[in-house]
Amino acid sequence: MQGNSQQQAYDRGTNIFSPDGRLYQVEYAREAIKRGSPSVGIRFESDDEAGVVFVASGRLRSSLQVPDSIEKIHKVDDHVGVASAGHVADARQLVDVARRQAQVERLRFGEDAGIEALTKEITGYIQEYTQAGGARPFGAALLVGGLDADGTPHLFETDPSGTPYEWEAIAIGGNSEKIQGYLEAEYESDTDADGALELAFHALEDASEGGLESEGMSASVISGDGFRSLSNDELHELIDGHDLAADEDDEE
């Protein structure tokens, strides 16, 4: 028993390295993210419009669940938002860190928080939970997207190790490899918000089994006009308009 528990100690309790230099708890956290439903972020920059779109899908547990209570896309500030995958409760905690930091930046510098600076504040916070004893890493990945003060759009990903990555288009969460493959084949930066939304929905549909259920989905656009979430009618229209709906959804 003693020998056995010593072997297992590397993936229990605190974050410590395994003999071959891995952090099992961080790796398990990445696995937790893959178990959830996916979120997609796409950066766009055409002559007259620049920004980031987020599209997230979520699973309704029952027809009685209120769809709007599934929160996967969060406004952080007027010029920046976050889409999450993985444990929603963990993600919400990070969203609050981002919201507070966005206000701290404004108090300190009198300017909107830069997207990269904000992302690095979040990843710094995430990283602390990969070293602190007795703590568990965050079981959530975030996409942080928005516009810098000069109007340049940026889209970053955070992972449970606390590393930031910048992307033109990315999928996180369940089935993300397949969605990413679609994005890699189809992405073009020179488009507007509608074009980016269309690509995101097509990518999600391509990886789905039998089409999209608009009830579980949400989408937001961050552009020069600020942060805007699409209404349920707009979501329906987009999904039906591009013939992406699941079959049983057609007659609703």
Partner 1 sequence: MEGFTSGKGTAESAPEEFKTGTTTVGIVADEGVVLATDRRASLGGRFVSNKDADKIIEVHPSAAITISGSVGAGQTFADQLQAQTSLYETRRGKEMSMQALSTTAANAIRGMRVVPLLGGVDETGGHLYSLDPAGGLMEDTYGSTGSGMQMAYGVLEGEYEDGMSVSEAETAARAAVEAASARDTASGNGAMVARITDDGIEREELSAEEL
Q: Which residues bind partner 1 (CB under 8 A)?
A: 107-111, 114, 116-117, 120, 149
Closest CA to 148 of 51, 46, 41, 40: 51
Q: Determine contact, residues 55/179, Cβ cutoff 8 Å.
A: no
Q: For residues 111 and 194, which CB has a smaller minimum distance to partner 1 in the complex?
A: 111
Across the beta sheet with 80-86, the strand order is 73-77, 80-86, 140-147, 153-158, 164-166
Q: For residues 9 and 117, which CB has a smaller minimum distance to partner 1 in the complex?
A: 117
54: three-class secondary structure by DSSP: strand
Minimum CB separation from partner 1 for residue 109, in Å? 4
Q: For residues 109 and 165, which CB has a smaller minimum distance to partner 1 in the complex?
A: 109
Integer Cα distance of 145 and 158 in angstroms: 11
Q: For residues 107 and 185, which CB has a smaller minimum distance to partner 1 in the complex?
A: 107
Minimum CB separation from partner 1 for residue 116, in Å? 7
Q: For residues 117 and 132, which CB has a smaller minimum distance to partner 1 in the complex?
A: 117
Minimum CB separation from partner 1 for residue 238, in Å? 37
Minimum CB separation from partner 1 for residue 24, in Å? 31
Minimum CB separation from partner 1 for residue 102, in Å? 15
Q: Determine contact, residues 203/182, Cβ cutoff 8 Å.
A: yes
Question: The tokens of 19 are what?
Answer: 């003999």
Minimum CB separation from partner 1 for residue 149, in Å? 8
Integer Cα distance of 45 and 52 in angstroms: 9
Q: For residues 144 and 196, which CB has a smaller minimum distance to partner 1 in the complex?
A: 144
Integer Cα distance of 146 and 125 in angstroms: 20
Q: For residues 114 and 174, which CB has a smaller minimum distance to partner 1 in the complex?
A: 114
Question: ∠ at Cα 214 (209, 216), nearest 5°?
Answer: 85
Closest CA to 55 of 180, 213, 204: 204
How does strand 153-158 pair with strand 164-166?
Answer: antiparallel
Minimum CB separation from partner 1 for residue 81, in Å? 21
